[in-house]
Amino acid sequence: MSTPAAIPTVKGLEFLRLMMLSREGDRREGILLRQSKGWFQVSGMGHEALGALAHCLRPDDWIFPYYRDRGLMLARGLTNDELALAYFAKEDSGSAGRQMPGHYSSREHNVFSVCTPTGGGLLPACGTAWGMKLAGTDSVALATIGDAASRQGEFFEA
């Protein structure tokens, strides 16, 4: 049995920095919401370590996130400034202010827009993966969901 490769200290520190950045962004959004300066927030606290998945992906791979994936989005290359633009529904955000906060998307980083029903990204992820296979590429489509979505029709169909 082979032993897993150790994570270099520099990479581990980068993972930790992104996890802390994600937690702090969530904390600040929560404060803004309680001050009535925001209108909606779904925290990703406890899900920060998913950012490590982004380091296993290439730029041509696609991510189909759900609304608790702030850490994954930061690791993919989105910034807290971009996430703040989305939180305040600004025109310069990835959705031009048309999407709810926490519903990440980025054409530049191959991030498919979050669907509010947490399993809603599974079928588009399967279609994207199939399309990549038909095109002969070795790219992947990563879809993340919450626990409850694993009991929904989209999960079983995908």
Total residue length of the chain: 158
CA angle (17 as vertex; 89, 120 as ends), nearest 5: 45
| Six token digits for residue 132 | 């990549």
> How far apart, in whole angstroms, are the C-alpha atoms of residue 158 and residue 150?
11
What domains can you pick out in the chain, each with its CATH number?
A: 9-157 (3.40.50.970)
DSSP character at residue 108: T
Contact 121, 128 (CB under 8 A): no
Question: Which pLDDT tens digits describe the chain residue by residue (158 residues)?
Answer: 677 777 788 888 999 999 999 999 999 999 999 999 988 898 999 999 999 999 999 999 999 999 999 999 999 999 999 999 999 989 998 888 888 888 889 999 999 998 888 888 899 999 999 999 999 999 999 999 888 777 777 767 76
